[in-house]
Each structure stands twice: as structure tokens, then as C-alpha cells.
Amino acid sequence: MIVLVAVSSPAAAAESHHAMVVAEGDLAAKAGLEILERGGNAVDAAVAVSLALGVTNSGSCGIGGGGFMLIYWAKTGRVYGLDYRERAPSAASATMYIRDGKPAEELARTGPLAVAVPGEIAGLDAALRRFGTMRFGQVAAPAIKLARDGFPLSPHMARDVSLTATTIAQDPGFRAVFFDAAGSPLKAGDTVYDHNLATLIERLGDDPVKNFYHREIAAEIAAYLKDHGGLLTVHDLASYAPVWRDPIHLEHHGYDVYTMPPPSSGGVVLEILGMFGPSHMEGVGVDSPPYLAQLIELMRQGFIDRDQYADPAYVTVPIAYLLSPAHLAEARANALHRHNGPALAAAHDHGTSNFAVVDQAGNVVDVTTTINTIFGAKMMIPSLGLILNNEMDDFSVAPGVPNAFKLIGSKANEIAPGKRPLSSMSPLIALRKGRPIFVAGGSGGPTIITGVLQVTLDSLDFDLDPERSVAEPRIHHQAAPDMVFVESSMPTRTTDALRRMGYKVKLVPELGAVNAISIAPGELRGAFDQRKGGGAVGD
């Protein structure tokens, strides 16, 4: 039985007793519930949701991208992390975007040189083979049906199409799927058909890695990119492999909070949580100026330390030190120091998607998946219906050069062959006495970090339910620019108080999107974020 509770914007919530799926798309959430009702577990459902989101939310994610999966497995009582982040092609180099001695950032954002080796299919297959109970073809069936039979364009996707229409209208693949016969972009509620994508997913069969990375599909991808001036080759595809990583965790006020290690930014969330001692939460309210001022300074310090994050296969990331009590105390003290960065504008982009699944056995999965910015590299391989990522922009194009999200590049995250770029994605599962009690994740570039952080604090420290935690107005500070971004729904008196404290404040309509589920025996409460839209379903 599906239980939906409609509430006022900007959150929607559901309650259930046995299982739940919360996702940035109601059709994708229902695809996951369908798999659960057919006897699948949380990982089976997660693969189905991922594939369905790649159809209905293709501006944000899809099989041309990659992501992270965090899994709590009830039988072992352990948390597992799967990294299927994209990798740089073997011909990539740290200077590949330098033209006439200057960085050409746009080459990393749009077009063939922006494309990294996709990891989505390899990751989903790895999770399914280790923890799933169903075949790939079975869990792919809902996505194939949506692509082939059509689905209504969501308001968020319609906005994505509209925002990028000038660019993607030049691409024959996008033009065939997202524009009408007169050449106008489809509007919210219009039916979208993607027959080539349906056929592509169907061609993957029950051995998707072999079929996507080693056979005709791989050859088609490599040939298309070669013809358009890209670097990705059949060898790059054939050599791709996801990585099982030990999650990192931190004790926070009686909770064990787990997240993905680098190249995820989950450690930044943990570091900021760790800088909040129990006494620092006393006597402050969720939106109170004293609490927000403290939060701003700790966010700033967390992003300063994020400069040390990168692919751990290429750079030694001192994650144990960064999360040590000694460093957390020092970082909190340093947070009082103001770091003045360049005056840049905020990036507004939701080119990522998140969802969470809890099944009847108590297994929990949180997935964040992406093609980076809206519609990735703005390239679709028409014969495959495959939208290509622009994940190379998550590397440092050059030290000191900001990417599309205005994050300043560091040397640790410079491009190297086969390297995974640093990501803001931060899936999170919190345990208490060894049992999961909360799961959250988000989308929205660097606002993922601060969004997941705030929803987690609201839930664990302020004891708000997921609906309220997700709905609360949020702030964002990423060290550079030296600007506090505040959602316009924040009370005016609070915003004015921050200005009086000396903060440069910029009001924005919204900051990312976060999904969350609270977990208690026989009671699951989940909420998706209506800043982006989605669905919460359960039984």
C-alpha cells in the first residue's frame, strides 16, 4: 500500500511501517516500491530507482554518469560504501584545458572534452551482484517501460530543458526527445518518449558490464566521441571498475554517523558535525542568528579543509587526522578567522539526484548519482539515447580556477589519467546502538554538503521529523566567495541579524535538495524536497 501525506511547500512526506522509498521523482520512487513488492530487497530497489531516475530526471543523472552508494546491511550490521564515480580518460592531462597559456574552463563544461568515463552501470551491477536478489533485466524493467511508453515531464525537468534549450536544441539527440515538431521545448506535463534509451537499457540484458563496457555499445560510445574530438576510448571503458570503500564515521552526540570517504565530500559533513560539541547546541534554535552564525563559521572551515580532498588512489587524504578530536578542536578555533575569497556569484544547478530506500528486513541504501551540471556535457549519442556527463569540470581545470559551482581548484584535485574527480556528493546513514535511525542525501553541487549537514543537525540535534528538517530554510557558505547564501524563505529578522553581524548575505530562491528518512521499529517517516520535487512511497 502506498501512503502519501501531502503537506505545504517546500516538503512532502510519507509514513509507513515496513519499507520506504524517497526519491527526486515520484515515478522513480514507485519503480523502487514495485521491486520491493515483487520480493526484491533495498539494493534491488535502489538499482531500479537509479535506472528510472536516469529516464525521468535525465537532466540530473543517468547511465552516462556515476555516483556513490552507501549500504547498511542488516544481516551483518555493517555499513558498506561503493564508489562508481567517473574517471578521467587515459589521455587526459593536467594541462588539457590550457589554451594560449590560459585555462579555457568552458571546454571542461560543455562538449566532448568534458566527458569522463561513466561508472553508473558498473556500480549498479556490482551492488546487485553482491547484495541483490534479482537479475538486472528484472530491475531495469520499470525504467525501460517509462522510456518506451512515455512519462510526463516534471516541472523541474521542464525548467532544466528551458534553461539549456539554446544549447541542447543544437544536438539532434536532445532535439528528438525534448522538443516538439515545431522545435519548441516541451513543457511540464508533456509526454516524453525516449525509445533509443529504452532500447539501450534493454540491450544491457543481465550482463550489463560486458554489454556496456566491452562490446558494441562501448564501440559506439568511443566512436561517437572520437568523431566529435573527445578523448574517451574503448580501452577507457573496458578498464573501468567500481571500488568498494570502507565508509568513514564519526560519533556525534550519541549517534554513529557514516558516510562515503574521498573522493566524496562526506568527510566535510562529518568534520563540521564534529566541530559542534553538545554545549554548542544549548539554548539556540534552528533558525536563530547565534546558531546560524556558528554554523557559517564552521561551514567556512570545513570547505577550507576540503582542499585536501581528492581521489585517494592519487593523493594521500589525511581523513583520520581531519576527523580527529585534536583537529576538530583546532578547526573550531580557526573557524573564528575570516577567510576572504574572490567575489564570485553563486552557481545555481541541480545536476545531481539522490534517493534512499529502506526495506522490510531493515536494510538501508542511500544513493547520490550525477552527470554533473544540467544535461552534463550537453551531448547525447542519438542512436543510444545516452546523455554524456561533464564530470571533468569537477577536477581543477587549473589551480585557483573555479569550476561551474564556483569551487576553487586545488592541486590535489588536478587532472590525471584514470583519476576520479572530487565530488560534493555526501550520502549519510546514522546509527544508534548499532541500528540505523536516519538516512539522508542531497543534490545541488556544493550545497549538497551544507544541505545534508543542516538536515542531519535538524533531525539529530533539534529532534525535528524529516518533513520539518527538509522544509527548514537553509544557508550555505563555501569559504570562497566570502558570501553567505540564504534562502529567501528565511525569516527577514534572521537575515537582517546576520547582516548586522557583518556577514555579506545574498538571498537565493533555494539551495539544493535533500531527501531524508527517519527509522524506528515499525515506523518509517520520509520526506522529499519540493525545492526539486519527488516522491515518498512505502508499505
Catalytic residues: 352
Report how far apart, in Å, the C-alpha atoms of 30 and of each of 33, 53, 104 are: 5, 11, 42
For 455, residues 6+ apart whose C-beta sits below 8 A from its C-beta are: 440, 442, 466, 469, 470, 472, 514, 516
Cβ partners under 8 Å of residue 320, min gap 6: none
Measure the CA–CA gap between 9 and 406, rounded to whole angstroms: 28
What is the CA 178 to chain-centroid distance, rounded? 23
For β-strands 484-487 and 475-476, DSSP reports them as antiparallel
AA identity, residue 442: G
Helix (H) / strand (E) containing 175: helix 172-178
**10-44 CB burial, b ≥16 within 10 A, e <16:** bbbbbbbeebbbbbbbbbbbbbbbbbbeeebbbbb
User: Which among 33, 23, 10, 17 has a CA at the least distance from the CA of 440?
Assistant: 23
Classify each residue of 257-279 as buried b or exposed e, where b means 16 or more C-beta atoms within 10 Å of its C-beta. Answer: bbbbbbbbbbbbbbbbbbbbeee
Using alpha carbons, select from 341, 324, 291, 290 the residue that is nearest to residue 453. 291
DSSP string, 130-144: HH--S-HHHHHHHHH
Torsion of CA 55, 59, 62, 65, to 10 degrees: 170
E-assigned strand segments in 91-221? 98-99, 102-103, 151-152, 191-192
Q: Which residues on adjacent β-strands are paired with residue 99?
A: 102
The gap from C-alpha 43 to its chain's centroid, in whole angstroms, comes to: 17
Cell 556528493 found at: 425
User: Among residues 449, 443, 399, 394, which one has the least CA distance to residue 421?
Assistant: 394
Cα distances from 442 to residues 394, 424, 433, in angstroms, run: 17, 10, 25
- CA-based nearest residue to 221, from 248, 203, 206: 203
Coil/strand/helix, residue 461:
coil
Mark 370-399 as b/e (b = at least 16 C-beta within 10 Å). bbbbbbbbbbbbbebbbbbbbbbbbbbbbe
